Structure 1
Amino acid sequence: MKHQTDALIIGFGKAGKTLAPFLAQQGLKVIVVERSAHMYGGTCINVGCIPTKALAQQAHLAAQQGIRDRAVRQELYAQAIREKDELVSLLRNKNLRLVQDQPGVTVITGIASFETAHLVRVETELGSLLVEADRIFINTGAVPVIPAIPGIESSKVYTSAEILDLAKLPERLAIIGGGYIGFEFASIFAGFGTQVTIFEQGELFLPREDQDIAAEVQKVLEHKGIRIQLQTGVTQMEDHEETGLILHLSSSNRSEEWKGDAALIATGRKANTDELNLEAAGINKTARGFIQVDEKLQTNQPHIWALGDVNGGPQFTYISLDDYRIVKDQWFGSGHRTTLDRKFVPYSVFIDPPLSHVGLTESEALKQGYHVKVAQLPVTASTRARQLKQTEGLLKAVIDAETKQLLGFTMFGVESSEVVNIVSVFIRSGEPYTVLRDTIFTHPSMAELLNDLLSLILD
């Protein structure tokens, strides 16, 4: 069977699920293909932002209780998993309805692969069908990288998606990889009382951050019982029924072993394109294996776009949403919006407390030739933080000494994921930092720390 459509969207991610109903409202016929009924709504809702942050909140509450009893901790964890599953199911069904109930949109569950640049085969449970489209949007996201470690196929070794369904709270968990995803899971499981050890091959902890920020994060995480071993690789894994999971480690020219219950692989993500047969469509990839796009997200095939994580941009769901805005602007706007507009993209890492940043770090600003002034303030300076009994962390601002513009901001502390959005909007204004310094904020709030932080800059 062959279907003809104006627009084919492959993948149910943030960009695709937002684009589909919009195009249909403009009178286009749209088909959305998603390989799994468990992924309606995309990575964020099903195995990314929503479930992990739900667990992070419950882990924070559990940690505040300081419960040592293993059975009680297990029940708290099990309840958190049940609540996470209920939330994900609710949002998954809601997203499906928002797309498939839109007149002009058809949702097909199956595996898509290109036959030609305009023709895509979809393998479904009921058989194979062909879709011919004038315009095609690839929104298939990214998947975990699985390193070639002997024994990694063990049932006690999990990806970031698989570990979300782990029914039993592990007493000892190894996390292989020292990136942001690994640290979020470390914080989650440590909050429920698991003994967590992170193994990272690199020399630096959080190399993307200024090292004073990284040192503060490391201090707080270690205080919560998380062990961090740098310059340590895993050479082999063994799964024994009696002794559990054994990791063979290589560190500083010596070998050692780690014994525990489970391991999480958090060594990065790659484009989810293995099943797409991109070669048949003549679509180019980058050296890192992501789909190559220009600043308007078009591939080398002008009728094909790649949106979201699959194109190698910042892997945030809000970037995928902005990809939708760029495509929308090309057809129904001025056509000026591009990825080059993304100069100040904030991010938050939901460890406990969260780490948030926007703009340049101090080291990046110095490398770019700025003469900078820097201010730092501990979170303990906040009355609100003391009320919340969450006084860990610090704030940091980087100022251009010549123009007085705020170049970058980092906050490692409670509610930083909200405060960073205020700063992000301000940086885009181009106003001198003194405007934010003198802005009136509510009291008591975490945002008012911006007044105190920026008052430390001496003109």
Structure 2
Amino acid sequence: MKNRKEKVDALIIGFGKGGKTLAPFLADQGLKVMVVEKSSLMYGGTCINVACIPTKTLAHRAHLLSQQAGIGIEEKKANYAGAIKEKDELVAFLRTKNFDNVNGHPGATVLTGTASFLSPHEVHVKTQEGSWIVEADRIFINTGAKPVVPDIPGMTSSLVYTSAGLLDLAKLPARLAIIGGGYIGLEFASIYAGFGSDVTLIERGPLFMPKEDRDIAQEVQKGLEKKGIRIRLGTRVNRIKESGSTATLYLTSSDGEVEELKADAVLAATGRIANTEGLNLEAAGVERDEQGFIRVDERLRTNVPNIWAVGDVNGGPQFTYISLDDYRILKDQLFGQSLRTTKDRKNVPTSVFIDPPLSHVGMTESEAISKGHKVKVAKLPAAASPRARMLKQTDGILKAIVDVETERLLGFTMFAADSSEVVNIVSMFMNSGQPYSVLRDTIFTHPSMAETLNDLLNAFR
């Protein structure tokens, strides 16, 4: 079949947060825009389909279930099946809404197919209906990232899943083994333990959450182990053997001890890499860094003048809200004053949606000291909050780091209920440049988790 040719002003490859927000904006500026997405199951991007939305939906249901006493395993299995169904319905709704928001926007078209560069301005797109040659003045790569599958014998077993695959598992696994102790592994461990799975988390490194201060990491580990999650540090998975409906993991600990671990499902949560397979970036001359992510400058420009990389694929922090900020940078660059850059991002908050969530902004205590700050530290147990007691979520801790000389708040960590909301308040405050005492004396509603900031920072008096 002969290739159909199309000329557009802007071509966006991938349907992630940055690209799907950019497409209608560019169309509103009078540009002819095309968005290419490889799969009809990925309209809206990673967050909506296989990451933030489905996992947080399950995390909420798991939390509600964990708050109920006397629930048997059969009821937990039924709750899990119901949560998966609810998740699927929500994802399908959002996927359709996102497709309509772009494809239904005047001047923008979605083409479902695989994209491959022919030159810096031409892309071959193969669809089920045929092939296209799309010529574009500007091209934005927004293909995201994908899970790393570790090189372990037996990883091709049908019982081994990536995060996306496990989300489609309709039956609750009685025993779940998770390889990797990063954010993704922690979230899935918390979710499945909440639903009633027997969870073992396996981490090769000797430290649990090595980037966190030890006091925070210890509190998180204690909280997860309280849920029945077994955490194996300094442990290597040598191979996996599938036998019927059971996977056997052969483990070696740092002291040389060898053992076997049985599981009904295995999650590989060992990081994510740029999703550039098949793009043929070489034909466009687009450079990648040592980790395979597309190399960009502070304005998200690649080394090729008419090509930009947006979202996870460019190697920046892998969060949906960072992809959205990528859009803001492009918007300002193309139709604004070109003032916004990635260097403007200061005190970006993060949250890990374990139960309770762990949120952080700024420096850890160890980071602040290593950078030469003389600091003072305040801590507060979550149980000190009336709101936490009302919610029956008294596990956790709050921690603040203040510079002794400037009285500026350098960092904040909250492992407690509603931390994913409270951390946004702290982030905005830190960017204001005011002394910590202003936040300490701010009036918050009562009873709320936000008011714990008053008590935490009051310890510095």
TM over 0.5: yes
| 2-structure distance, mates of 1:341, 1:208 | 23
Does the Cα contact within 8 Å between 1:375 and 1:397 map onto a contact in 2?
Answer: yes
TM-score by length of 2: 0.98
How far off its partner does 1:302 sit? Answer: 1.1
Among 1, 14, 28, the alignment partner of 1:11 is 14
Identical-pair percentage? 67
Q: Tell me which residue corresponds to 1:191.
A: 194
The whole-number CA distance in structure 1 between the counterparts of 2:289 and 2:403 is 35
- Residue 249 of structure 1 aligns with an amino acid whose one-letter code is L
Instruction: Evaluate the alpha carbon distance shift between residue 277 and residue 453 of structure 1 in structure 2; reply closer, same or farther with a 3 A threshold.
Output: same
- Map residues 105-254 of structure 1 onto 2, 5 A cutoff: 105-241=108-244, 244-252=246-254, 253-254=256-257
User: Given residue 247 of structure 2, which amino acid in structure 1 is its aligned partner?
Assistant: L
Partner of 1:102: 105
Determine if the alignment matches structure 1 residue 29 to structure 2 residue 32: yes
Distance 1:302 1:444 in 2: 53
Residue 347 (structure 2) pairs with residue 344 (structure 1): yes
Structure 1 partner of 2:271: 268
Question: Runs of 5+ in structure 1 lacking a partner?
Answer: none
Match for 2:23 among 20, 23, 36? 20
Partner Cα distance (2:421, 2:72) in 1: 34
CA distance in 2, matches of 1:146, 1:191: 26
How far does residue 268 in structure 1 lie from its aligned partner after superposition?
0.3
Matched residue type, 2:427:
S
Quote how far apart the aligned CAs of 1:71 are: 1.6
Q: Deviations over 1:380-405 (max 9, x none)?
A: 11001111111110000000100000
Compute the displacement of 1:68 (Å): 4.7
Please tell me whether the aligned partners of residues 68 and 193 of structure 1 are also in contact (alpha carbons under 8 angstroms).
no
Please list the CA deviations of residues 177-203 of structure 1 after superposition, one character each: whole Å capped at 9, or x if unmatched.
000000000000000110000000011
Whole-angstrom CA distance in 2 between matches of 1:125 and 1:172: 40
After TM superposition, which residue ranges in structure 1, 4 or more long, deviate above 3 angstroms?
A: none
1:277 to 274, 277, 280: 280
C-alpha contact (below 8 Å) 1:238/1:245 kept by paired residues? yes
CA distance, structure 2, for counterparts of residue 426 and residue 78 of structure 1: 41
Q: Which runs of 5 or more structure 2 residues have no equivalent in the other structure?
A: none
Any idea what the Cα deviations from partners look like across 1:231-254, whole Å, max 9, x if unmatched? 101110000017x11001111212
Deviation at 1:67, TM superposition (A): 4.4
Give the letter for the 2:238 counterpart: T
The separation in 2 between residues aligned to 1:442 and 1:50, in whole angstroms, is 28
User: Quick one: distance in 1 between partners of 2:359 and 2:263?
Assistant: 31
Query: For residue 398 of structure 1, what is the aligned residue in structure 2?
Result: 401
- Give the alignment's Cα RMSD to 1 decimal: 0.7
TM-aligned CA distance change 1:66 to 1:264, over 3 Å: farther
Letter in 2 for 1:282: G
Whether the 8 Å CA contact 1:375–1:453 is kept in 2: the answer is: yes
